[in-house]
């Protein structure tokens, strides 16, 4: 290995080692609670269709989302599908679909949780709405944002301002590199490029002579 190649290899190694130890580069994301309300103590008088206003933690972006409500025993509850929207919906549960105004994604119930496609992303400081297309008996009615309910699949949702049903939304934080780490990576790549350019120039001069 000649001197130039050795220098390039060392430079690449330094940049990659720095990436391992500087926060924000090559980091591993973990599932976290994004938004949760669990202080409501009332139980619905019977099964109903539900909607809830969800506000995401400020300054974060998340994917790999999972949502659940809670039954009277405190167990996670999810039945049918849930629809994630960018605006409130006052239509009927039966009319929920990918054509619903504000539609973002559909979560499918599995084992008490609604799971969304992993690429679906929610943004920090943003308000979202979720609505179910199946009836459940849930707990909630604590002070909060606003929830919605419908007593049948063909009745419009009605909003209840100032109160929430109990729910938890979890997801995986999408890492955002710190400005300093981005500069470090760019500097490393720039140095490698400069060394390669010098090598080509030297080879060109050698061939010319």
Domain-embedded: residue 187: no
Q: What is the mean pLDDT of the chain?
A: 83
Domain-embedded: residue 205: no
pLDDT tens, position by position, 160-207: 999 999 999 999 999 876 554 445 555 555 666 666 677 666 666 566
| Residue 86 to residue 55: CA distance in whole angstroms | 11
Nearest to 19 by CA among 192, 196, 186: 186
Domain-embedded: residue 193: no
Counting the structural domains of the chain, the total is: 1
Look at residue 204 in the predicted model and tell me its pLDDT: 61
Domain-embedded: residue 86: yes
Q: Are the C-beta atoms of 141 and 70 separated by less than 8 Å?
A: no
| Residue 187 to residue 196: CA distance in whole angstroms | 14
| pLDDT-derived band at 29, boundaries 50, 70, 90 | very low
State yes or no: pLDDT of 10 exceeds 90.
no
Look at residue 58 in the predicted model and tell me its pLDDT: 79
| Residue 43 to residue 119: CA distance in whole angstroms | 34
Domain-embedded: residue 55: yes
pLDDT tens, position by position, 42-94: 999 999 999 999 999 877 899 999 999 999 999 999 999 999 999 999 999 99
Q: What Cα–Cα distance (Å) separates residue 173 from each residue in 29, 32, 163, 203?
A: 6, 7, 27, 47
State yes or no: pLDDT of 32 exceeds 70.
yes
Q: Compare 107 and 27 and report the one with higher pLDDT.
A: 107
- Other CB atoms within a 10 A radius of the CB of residue 26 amount to 12
- For β-strands 139-150 and 42-43, DSSP reports them as antiparallel
């Amino acid at each position: 290995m000649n001197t130039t190649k050795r220098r390039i290899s060392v430079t690449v190694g330094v940049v990659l080692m720095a990436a391992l130890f500087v926060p924000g580069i090559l980091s591993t994301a973990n599932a976290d609670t994004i938004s949760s309300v669990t202080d409501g103590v009332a139980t619905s008088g019977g099964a109903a269709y539900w909607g809830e206003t969800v506000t995401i933690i400020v300054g974060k972006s998340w994917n790999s989302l999972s949502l659940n409500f809670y039954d009277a025993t405190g167990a996670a509850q999810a039945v049918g599908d849930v629809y994630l929207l960018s605006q409130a919906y006052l239509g009927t549960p039966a009319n929920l679909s990918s054509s619903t105004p504000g539609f973002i994604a559909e979560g499918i119930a599995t084992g008490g949780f609604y799971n969304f496609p992993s690429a679906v992303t929610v943004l920090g400081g943003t308000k979202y709405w979720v609505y179910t297309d199946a009836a459940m008996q849930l707990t909630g009615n604590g002070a909060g944002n606003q929830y919605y309910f419908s007593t049948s699949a063909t009745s419009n949702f009605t909003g209840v301002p100032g109160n929430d049903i109990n729910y938890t939304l979890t997801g995986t934080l999408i890492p955002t590199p710190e400005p300093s780490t981005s500069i470090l990576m760019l500097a490393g790549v720039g140095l490698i490029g400069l060394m390669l350019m010098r090598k080509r120039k030297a080879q060109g001069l050698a061939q010319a002579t």
